[in-house]
Amino acid sequence: MNAIVTSMLANLHAKPDAASELVDEVLYGMTVQIMEEIDESWVRIQTAYRYEGYCQKDHLLVDEAKMDTWLQEANHFITQSFADVLQQPLIQSTKMMTLVKGSIICSSAVEELDPEWAAVQFVSGEIGYVRRKWLQEKIPVNSFSEQPLRENVVQTALSYLATPYRWGGKSPLGIDCSGLCSMAYMLNGVYIYRDAKIVEGFPIKEISLKHIQKGDLLYFPGHIALYIGNNLYVHSSLGGNEVNINSLDDQHPQYRKDLATSITAVGSLFK
């Protein structure tokens, strides 16, 4: 059974208990598969990127007819850290909902009004308005050649700079290390594994450190970072409390010996 996320963020927990560990967040408009009904409040779900956890039912809409339509027509995602969807195309209008970067929305519901505002449709069918520059068309899989994709992944990761660290987080409200790296790829049309390790069946393959390029991934014990070139990497650091940049160069002021000397693997989407 399939469902659509209808909350700004749907928390995925390690157990069917709101007090249990947060393992992931699924954003508005993303689709999931319900693997098991636990009780009247909880289900076990699997995301489109094959990550599993327990979610409260009231974050989800289960409607196969709407699911089919949504999969065909929900063709844009939010690029701004936070975007208010308003009742009218006026800045003074009432807010209907706030969406975070990566949320999926349908923007083909009605005719375009002007260069500034886009009409968008919620899962419920309600129409709202958001600034057009905060929307981007969903990127098809394998739509970029290697170098543009590498650059886009780096720029997407850098757009989260200074985002607070949140265990299990995946939005500008708070993000963890693997959330940052997986979102950097997801927003460019590629699903990688959600956690800080290389897993068979996902597109990241191990390479040697000497072959590392922009957009490749650095793995440490329980941690992951995205390489941005010139011996620099961006990561959501529990020790640093936010998304920041550090260096592998021991002469650089942003050098972190604890990480630079504990690399366990380097991963790349490309051979």
Catalytic residues: 177, 223, 235
Strand order in the sheet with 31-37: 22-27, 9-13, 52-56, 42-47, 31-37, 2-5, 60-61
**CB atoms near residue 62 (< 10 Å):** 13
H helices present in the chain, as ranges: 64-73, 146-158, 177-186, 257-260
3-class secondary-structure state, position 197: coil
Nearest to 12 by CA among 206, 171, 226, 210: 171
Q: Which amino acid is at 68?
A: D
Eight-class DSSP state of 151: H
CA gyration radius, the chain: 19
Whether the CB-CB separation of 54 and 12 falls below 8 Å is answered with yes
What is each CA distance from 227 to 93, 153, 230, 233, 235, in whole angstroms?
A: 42, 10, 9, 4, 9
